[in-house]
A and B are shown apart, each in its own frame.
Chain A
């Protein structure tokens, strides 16, 4: 089963990353002030892998996704600095016209709300065909044919292609959105909370479908989510984002079993435990910092149980636990072996 996938991967240089976001800074200019949505954010993703971008509302996850596609709302939104390398090409250096060749064809995005991301006055097959026509230069007839295949692929009977979005349920609409995103067989799929608006049994269907399709085509994926359960299920690596910055990154095992950052720990402890319902929830006190007025030092310091004077004065630097797993927190020092200081029982 994996032969096909391996062949696809062999053609690419396996050691190279498909996407590398370096020191990205994005701001929104509003009446209330400058919102620093993304602050020197770094992520990297290898071919065929899935990266979970985890964080709460306002952490800058969606803005990061939109930045990769250069869809940050202008004029309020501005990518201030940084670079986004897709297969070695810095997307931020491309002209708008060149960028159009990437969107929907090499890089696609699935948005959170399937109810608003479809065009209500176009049949679903036309909406899928539009992407195919635009990027693969097929004529209308052939692209409709391909669109019908895509519908079959996502588990919607192709006869229903002539129907309009309002005739579909939420789960079906999200399948249509996924069909559009995958229509040109993109190399990178950015899925922004793709199942948040869906019921749990439908969510299970959609996640399963995404998994099967990715396996088939070897698509790399960035999964934006706040749900650590979904991360555990679909991702290979995790970047935990707080106030527009990655504060911890590692493989699933690194982050789930050896979490280092007090915020990561806080996220785990806020979740009700399914095995033992008597365990009391430990919420993270306080709120996300005001993005127009971020703390001078560590952005998490105002909410942190382990806060020290140093945390309020100086931003922590990256400390590695192993070559893949790093944390940005003053609790850890790069010259001593890193063992979790926040996790009592593994």
Chain B
């Protein structure tokens, strides 16, 4: 195992979509690294580019520019064949277990498919054994192998999605809102399963979610995105105890806390997210920010390291730089 090098490195990733109204900046200059066996949480609200970032890394969406290194291989330079090989190592779990499984394939066939695709030296019997192993690993009873997705509840369907992702022995899994469609009691089951698998198999995760309490529980580092930009990046504990960007501050204060003794200190943001189409080069949060001053409306702050490992893109923090 290589420990010194990060397993995944993303440099200046951009994804723009051409729309009739102009260029939509979905992901605008995002860079980060993840060490093996760690979890990076990407948080933000609808339209901040968190899912697009994840998908661009897997080249499920072709990035506009930027570099992605996985195990020191530049993913963007790979041809189709090599990409298919490396995708064995990079898998994805989708948000909606109701629409990400083929309704006409049994659970067995669903989990077997990636084995047929990626492990063509396996015999039929070996595949059967491996499917059962995987089902056991994610906590699916063997009797369910003949069932179809519609016969399963959301939690079990998500387990099928996880088993399928694990089939090709990945090193990295992109979890795109994996528990958002599930009830809290089931959500906890799936989160615990994902941490168990990470420990057992040494997996590296990117955890894309809008749910801040989930991301806090689950991540080593957290990246906060807003309108395609990275606003703040820090180790989870640091980010939650010492949020520096006004947006992060508002986002954290907006979480309803299930404790009646919790003293609410809520920052209610004015207005709504501005359009991501042809954004001006000013702070993208300036119109909602309670601290915004002239400079914020004239130039765009860059992400800079304010304290060790804590990066913020905000003019207010610049003076605090160490």
Rounded to whole angstroms, the CA-CA distance of A20 and B255 in the bound complex is 32
For A285, list chain B residues within 8 Å (CB). Answer: 189
Asked whether B217 is an interface residue with its Cβ less than 8 Å from the other chain, the reply is yes
Asked whether A304 is an interface residue with its Cβ less than 8 Å from the other chain, the reply is no
Closest to A284 in B: B185
Asked whether B32 is an interface residue with its Cβ less than 8 Å from the other chain, the reply is no
From A56, A172, A200, A287, B184 is in contact (CB under 8 Å) with A56
7 closest Cβ contacts across the A-B interface? Answer: A229-B256, A272-B217, A283-B188, A228-B258, A199-B45, A270-B188, A284-B185
Closest to A197 in B: B46
Residue among B183, B192, B210 with the most chain A CB within 10 A? Answer: B183
Write 11 A-B pairs (CB below 8 A) sorted by A numbering. A200-B251, A203-B254, A204-B254, A205-B268, A233-B256, A280-B192, A282-B188, A283-B189, A284-B185, A287-B153, A287-B186
- With contacts A171-B272, A200-B210, A277-B237 taken as known, whether A268 is within 8 angstroms of B258 at the C-beta atoms is yes
* A50 CB, min distance to chain B CBs, angstroms: 14
Rounded to whole angstroms, the CA-CA distance of A95 and B240 in the bound complex is 55
From A56, A232, A282, A283, B259 is in contact (CB under 8 Å) with A232
Q: CB distance B257 to A232 under 8 Å? A: yes
Contact flags B174-196 to A (C-beta < 8 A → 1, else 0): 00000000011111110110000
Q: CB distance B255 to A274 under 8 Å? A: yes
Asked whether A267 is an interface residue with its Cβ less than 8 Å from the other chain, the reply is yes
- With contacts A200-B210, A202-B272, A277-B217 taken as known, whether A287 is within 8 angstroms of B155 at the C-beta atoms is yes
Rounded to whole angstroms, the CA-CA distance of A317 and B115 in the bound complex is 53
Q: CB distance A272 to B213 under 8 Å? A: yes
Asked whether B30 is an interface residue with its Cβ less than 8 Å from the other chain, the reply is no
Contact flags B39-52 to A (C-beta < 8 A → 1, else 0): 00000011000000
For A170, list chain B residues within 8 Å (CB). Answer: 46
For A233, list chain B residues within 8 Å (CB). Answer: 256-257, 264
Asked whether A102 is an interface residue with its Cβ less than 8 Å from the other chain, the reply is no
Q: CB distance A200 to B264 under 8 Å? A: no
A217-265 with Cβ < 8 A to chain B: 226-233, 252-253, 256-257
Asked whether B147 is an interface residue with its Cβ less than 8 Å from the other chain, the reply is no
Binding site for A on B (CB under 8 A): 45-46, 153-155, 183-189, 191-192, 210, 212-214, 216-218, 236-237, 240, 250-251, 253-260, 262, 264, 266, 268-269, 272-273
Q: CB distance A271 to B251 under 8 Å? A: no
- With contacts A203-B254, A232-B257, A277-B237 taken as known, whether A270 is within 8 angstroms of B264 at the C-beta atoms is no
Closest to A234 in B: B256
For A207, list chain B residues within 8 Å (CB). Answer: 256
Rounded to whole angstroms, the CA-CA distance of A42 and B87 in the bound complex is 54
Contact flags A66-98 to B (C-beta < 8 A → 1, else 0): 000000000000000000000000000000000
From B46, B216, B217, B256, A232 is in contact (CB under 8 Å) with B256
For B273, list chain A residues within 8 Å (CB). Answer: 169
Asked whether A281 is an interface residue with its Cβ less than 8 Å from the other chain, the reply is yes
Q: CB distance B216 to A274 under 8 Å? A: yes
- With contacts A199-B210, A270-B188, A283-B188 taken as known, whether A232 is within 8 angstroms of B258 at the C-beta atoms is yes
Q: CB distance A271 to B254 under 8 Å? A: no
Closest to A209 in B: B268
* A250 CB, min distance to chain B CBs, angstroms: 12
* A310 CB, min distance to chain B CBs, angstroms: 24
Closest to B250 in A: A201
Asked whether A139 is an interface residue with its Cβ less than 8 Å from the other chain, the reply is no
Q: CB distance B257 to A229 under 8 Å? A: yes
Closest to B212 in A: A200
- With contacts A200-B254, A283-B189, A287-B155 taken as known, whether A267 is within 8 angstroms of B269 at the C-beta atoms is no
Rounded to whole angstroms, the CA-CA distance of A283 and B158 in the bound complex is 15
Asked whether A266 is an interface residue with its Cβ less than 8 Å from the other chain, the reply is yes
Rounded to whole angstroms, the CA-CA distance of A283 and B254 in the bound complex is 25
For B153, list chain A residues within 8 Å (CB). Answer: 287
Q: CB distance B188 to A281 under 8 Å? A: yes
For B185, list chain A residues within 8 Å (CB). Answer: 56, 266-267, 270, 283-284
- With contacts A226-B183, A277-B237 taken as known, whether A201 is within 8 angstroms of B262 at the C-beta atoms is no
For A16, list chain B residues within 8 Å (CB). Answer: none
From B45, B155, B212, B217, A281 is in contact (CB under 8 Å) with B217
From A202, A232, A269, B260 is in contact (CB under 8 Å) with A232
* A239 CB, min distance to chain B CBs, angstroms: 16
- With contacts A172-B272, A199-B46, A283-B192 taken as known, whether A270 is within 8 angstroms of B184 at the C-beta atoms is yes
Contact flags A293-336 to B (C-beta < 8 A → 1, else 0): 00000000000000000000000000000000000000000000
For A284, list chain B residues within 8 Å (CB). Answer: 185, 188
Q: CB distance A201 to B258 under 8 Å? A: no
Q: CB distance B45 to A200 under 8 Å? A: yes
From A56, A201, A256, A269, B254 is in contact (CB under 8 Å) with A201
From B192, B260, B266, A253 is in contact (CB under 8 Å) with B260
For A287, list chain B residues within 8 Å (CB). Answer: 153, 155, 186
Rounded to whole angstroms, the CA-CA distance of A277 and B218 in the bound complex is 8
Asked whether A167 is an interface residue with its Cβ less than 8 Å from the other chain, the reply is no
Rounded to whole angstroms, the CA-CA distance of A205 and B251 in the bound complex is 12
